Amino acid sequence: MTSPPREIELKLEVPPEAQEPLKKAPAPTGFTSTRATTKTLHSIYFDTPDQALRLAKISLRVRKVGQSWIQTAKFGTGVTGGLSSAIEVEHAIDGRAVDLSIIDDPQILRHLVETIDGRPLAETFETVMPRTSRLLTSHDGSRIEIAFDAGDIKVNGKTSPLAEVEFELLQGSSASLYAAANGLLGATPFRFSPCSKAERGFRLAEDNSDNTILPALAAKVVLSTDETVEHAFRNVLRSCLTQIADNRMAVLASDLPEGPHQLRIGLRRLRSAFRLFKPALNPHSLTPLNEMAKEIAGHVGALRDLDVLAEDIVAPLESFRPENLSLEPLLKHLGTTRQVCRADLIDYLGSEKINTFLFSLAAYTEGRGWLDAENFDQSRLLAASVSAHADRALDRQWKKCAKYGSRIDDLAISERHEMRKALKKIRYGIEFFGSLYPKQEVKPFLKRLKKLQDIFGYLNDIAMAEKLLDDPIAKGAGAAGVAKAVGFAVGWHEAQSHHMWQHAKGYWSDTKTVPKFWR
């Protein structure tokens, strides 16, 4: 169907207590602002009993604003990285009942009627949102409406609160959305809204509306064989961005060790994506984002390493320790160190520079920041099939692993660490590109690679644990109990590492013989 103009919005969730300060904040640098106005929006959403509209990514609602009612149909209601670009058609109506007959676009009407297919429409849920809005205008003429929504979604007697800031692009480029958001929020923590208000309502109706911020695994990347390199790269970046932004909030919200773990994975996946797609990208555009991701990973890694030391290296030794030795002084020391490290990380992740990084990465992802005006061959590379690109990218990464593996009997500790990183990078590459290949061919290789990676990871943890011997607190006066526990922990795991290294060599030999599914 011929599409009316799309409504382009950036949706951000912020802490409820941040709403009022943001409403009163001055216009971001480079923008002028109108006076804010506030009105209450009462919206009723409709669907068929089997949710045909929801399944088709269509929302149908009527909204009361003052004494007036407006009917809105949105097509393409998904939200990716907080960005929504739905097609929206609106008509004034007399009351809270849906009236499809007033839709004057025959293609829009036909699409709705075919989706509904004669099934009855009924009210499914409602939202009551006080909305404060103002209009921003940038120096280049871009116009953006900011809307602060803080209210409730209601269905069947259940209520779920929502605090959201929306930036709707009325005129200009999407880059101005991120510039406005970055300038307005400053250091206010946020996450990209994972779904629309309509989807939230359906989830509440299904008792699936828990808003608790928890550590999040990476969303699976699913690519098609006819997809271009550029589209595949954008999809991979969206997965990385969401994982980083969500787990940044998880670290700020709780002290669960999985938060720093998943945040570091997200940053590593991002840097791996930059490497795997590098031949088709503008390398200069990558440098600031890559360096910032590396910096953040360093801060997060400091806490993650302490988590591993306490929970995976020291605590499991309780059943192996001699009777005259206590691990408690060491665990207490690590706990104190973790508290200090976590406090430093919270300050760092709550800083404005992290918001700037997230908005810059989002603008890069959605605004094609990888384009290089001086690379006349880039258009061909970006438009090529991702399947051929994936074959080459995985083969390049495998050769790096094989280079170390060919000398596995002679690798120094530092080289084992480099081989571990090479194995991790090809693992991320398989996660990005795996859907392009037959599952039965990917699985055998991935199974052995995971085992090999686990062994190398353990060996790296042991090397990290040895750094405890250089801890000035562990060596200091009055810390004899800590030093004794350190000596036992390091000695025990060093003995295990010799045994595990033999396993590593065996698993490497096995992995070499497994067919490389990309060849």
pLDDT in tens, 81-131: 888 888 999 999 999 999 999 999 899 999 999 999 999 999 999 999 999
For position 212, what pLDDT does the model report? 75
Q: What is the mean pLDDT of residues 453-470?
A: 80
Q: Which residue has the tokens 């953006």?
A: 144
Q: What is the mean pLDDT of residues 327-338?
A: 91
Whether the pLDDT of residue 68 is over 80: the answer is yes
SS3 assignment, position 173:
coil
Whether the pLDDT of residue 486 is over 90: the answer is no
Whether the pLDDT of residue 501 is over 90: the answer is no
Whether the pLDDT of residue 477 is over 50: the answer is no
Whether the pLDDT of residue 207 is over 90: the answer is no
Q: What is the CATH number of domain 6-205?
A: 2.40.320.10
What tokens were used for 80? 């990716």
**Contact between 149 and 162 (Cβ < 8 Å):** yes
Query: What band does 196 get if pLDDT is binned at 50, 70 and 90?
Result: confident
Q: What are phi and psi of 201, to 5 degrees?
A: -65, -45
What tokens were used for 315? 């605590």
For position 475, what pLDDT does the model report? 52
Between helices 439-465 and 413-433, what is the axis angle to 10°? 150
Q: What is the CATH number of domain 229-513?
A: 1.40.20.10
Q: What is the mean pLDDT of residues 502-513?
A: 88
Share of the chain above pLDDT 90, in %: 71
Q: What is the mean pLDDT of residues 390-411?
A: 94
Whether the pLDDT of residue 394 is over 90: the answer is yes
Question: Which of left, alpha, beta for 82 (phi over 0: left; psi -120 to 50: alpha)?
Answer: left
How crowded is residue 222: how many other Cβ atoms within 10 Å of its Cβ?
Answer: 11
Radius of gyration of the chain (CA): 27
Q: Which of 102, 126, 115, 172 is nearest to 367 (CA)?
A: 172
Stretch (H or E) spanning 155: strand 143-155
Single-letter amino acid code for the residue at 313: I
pTM (whole model) above 0.95: no
CA gap 399, 278 in Å, rounded: 17
**Contact between 358 and 266 (Cβ < 8 Å):** no
Q: Which of 14-23, 153-162, 172-181, 219-228 has the lowest mean pLDDT?
A: 153-162
For position 1, what pLDDT does the model report? 43
Q: Which of 97-111, 141-155, 394-408, 495-509 has the lowest mean pLDDT?
A: 495-509
**Contact between 370 and 477 (Cβ < 8 Å):** no
Q: Beta strand 122-138 with 143-155: parallel, antiparallel or unpaired?
A: antiparallel
Domain ranges of the chain: 6-205, 229-513
The rounded mean pLDDT for the chain is 91
Q: Which of 117, 104, 88 is nearest to 198 (CA)?
A: 88
Looking at per-residue pLDDT, the higher value among 259 and 413 belongs to 259
Whether the pLDDT of residue 369 is over 50: the answer is yes
Interior/surface letters 27-53, b for 16+ CB within 10 angstroms, e for the rest = bbeebebeeeeeeebebbbbbbeeebb
For position 474, what pLDDT does the model report? 52
3-state helix, strand, coil in the chain (%, to 5): 55, 20, 25
Q: HSE, CB side, 13 Å, CA atoms: give it for residue 245.
A: 28
Q: What is the mean pLDDT of residues 274-296?
A: 95
DSSP type of residue 375: -
